[in-house]
Structure 1
Amino acid sequence: MTQPESTQFAAEQIRNAIIAGHFKPGDRLVEQQLTDMLNVSRHPVREALRLLAREGFVEIQRNKGASVSAVDPHSVIDVYNIRMALGRIALDHLLSEPGRVSPSVLKQLEKLAQNSAKYAGLEDQSHTLMNDFEFQQAIIDATGLQRTMRYFSELTGDVRRFNNLLSVVYTDRKGDSEKYVVKLYEAIRDGDREEAQRIWQAKFHKAVERYLSLIKDMESDGARRPRQAARGKS
């Protein structure tokens, strides 16, 4: 591989490991260990870490090196505000003039909406998650706006990381499917821009509330454990 290809390869492998939770928040990312693991030279690894720092997956501190970034309320709000804004741009573009949403796109969105309702009844929620990512991206991709498409797609990795790290369990998938997927498809089909924007915003606000509640619970659990241990010792 060329050096740029090695950098992209290293970045992809490290990014995927962070998203999957193999590298946890706060874990140090030691260059020599990564070069041995990925079988690439040190320079591409260093450049990969800088790239991942720009993406928000890695934090680089002077004299301390690189570590995996924390998942905190600020990062969740930042990611979702951007994704929400990109969605508003997409819906405005698609629904500002009749006929911009092609029949093939509507057919794709209809199928994904039907899948959403079907997967909501399965015990395994992974199908629901993947279908929802595909549904959102299909709306964005329908615009043909290259930057909007790219930025939205890149931030999906952050959302997958939030889900994996916080062990999100979706308890009302049938209700969510109806309110946020089927109804959104119907609003797009009917050309109702105002309703589509309302549903999109409500969908993302609910996601933020869910994540922030889980982060608060994790912080509370972490605060309680030392006190419980201390009482046990006494």
Structure 2
Amino acid sequence: MNADPIMAPMSNMEATEFAAEQIRKAIIVGHFKPGDRLIEQQLTDMLDVSRHPVREALRLLAREGFVELKRNKGASVSAVEAASVIEVYNIRLALGKIALDYLLSEEGRLTKSDLGRIEKLARNAIRLAETENQSETVRNDLEFQQAIIDATGLQRTIRYFSELTGDIRRFNNLLGVVYTDRKGDAQNYIMKLYEAIRDGNLAEAHAIWQAKFAKAAQRYLSLIESGQSDGASKAK
């Protein structure tokens, strides 16, 4: 009997990843809303793929927390719960500290190019805080965070942090957060964080990163607990 082959032939994996990506994007932007049923045949028709990849995509999205699967009821879009917000922010908080420890614990690890990118995004934050469109502020902030993570070159840290950005975008779109002090946030949590990184001040960088993420999570949790947002549910 021949041994199992090391390399397997191509399967439905690419179709599954495609379907998952498209459904995930639709959930993030709010095309599919919390509680909406995700019917396999409809998704198959929309995505022009067979049913099996769609079924596997829904299972994948259920593991990511975007979809809820119930026996005999099928799939539906998950509501945003306080526990999910806390989990996502705690993970990103921890990954950020890993990145800061790596970058600032040894001189020369942070390249001039990476520091320049971080500085540019920090200065963009100050400029964008003066505009009316807060969506650009959010986009720039997520890029700023990712730039710090990317600068490490630590592939697992980069991948895990990046994968959770979709959750942050979904929280923001679904809960409708209004940022009332964008100028203060840009100065206190972005520009000062850049300056701490530039100066190699690890303790200060840790403190600002911690405060930044605590404030961000609290914004979402307040909306969930107050019941002001559709599609969010309180922790039981």
Q: Does 1:185 align with 2:173?
A: no
* Letter paired with 2:204: E
- 2:53 — aligned with what? 44
Q: Tell me whether 1:120 sits opposite 2:129 in the alignment.
A: yes
1:5: Cα distance to partner? 1.5
Instruction: Write the letter of the residue equivalent to 1:146.
Output: Q
Provide runs of 4+ in structure 1 moved above 2 Å: 217-222
Q: Deviations over 1:159-195 (max 9, x none)?
A: 0000000111111000000010000000000000000
1:5 paired residue among 14, 33, 55:
14
SS at match of 1:115: helix
Aligned to 2:208: 199
> What is the letter of the counterpart of residue 131 of structure 2?
L
2:172 paired residue number? 163
- Report the 3-state secondary structure (helix = DSSP H, G, I; strand = E; otherwise coil) of the residue aligned with 2:213: helix
Name the SS of the counterpart of 1:176 in structure 2: helix
2:156 counterpart of 1:144 = no
Aligned partner letter, 2:206: Q
Matched residue count? 222
Partner residue of 2:95? 86
Q: Quick check: which one's helix share is greater?
A: 1
2:174 touches 2:230 (CA, 8 Å); kept in 1? no
* Unpaired runs of at least 5, structure 1: 223-234
SS in 2 for 1:59: strand
> Which one of the candidate residues 105, 112, 134 is aligned to 1:96?
105
Gaps of 5+ in 2: 1-9, 232-236
Counterpart code for 1:137: Q
1:206-225 superposed matches below 5 A: 206-218=215-227
Q: CA 1:118–1:158 in 2, change beyond 3 Å: closer, same or farther?
A: same
CA–CA distance in 2 between the matches of 1:220 and 1:117? 29
Matched, 1:154 2:163: yes
Q: Deviations over 1:194-233 (max 9, x none)?
A: 00000000000001110011112226999xxxxxxxxxxx
TM-score (norm 2): 0.91
Q: Which amino acid aligns with 1:88?
A: K
Aligned partner of 1:122: which letter? T
Bigger RCO of structures 1 and 2 (CA < 8 A, at least 6 apart): 2
Kindly provide the amino acid, as one letter, of the partner of residue 50 in structure 1: R
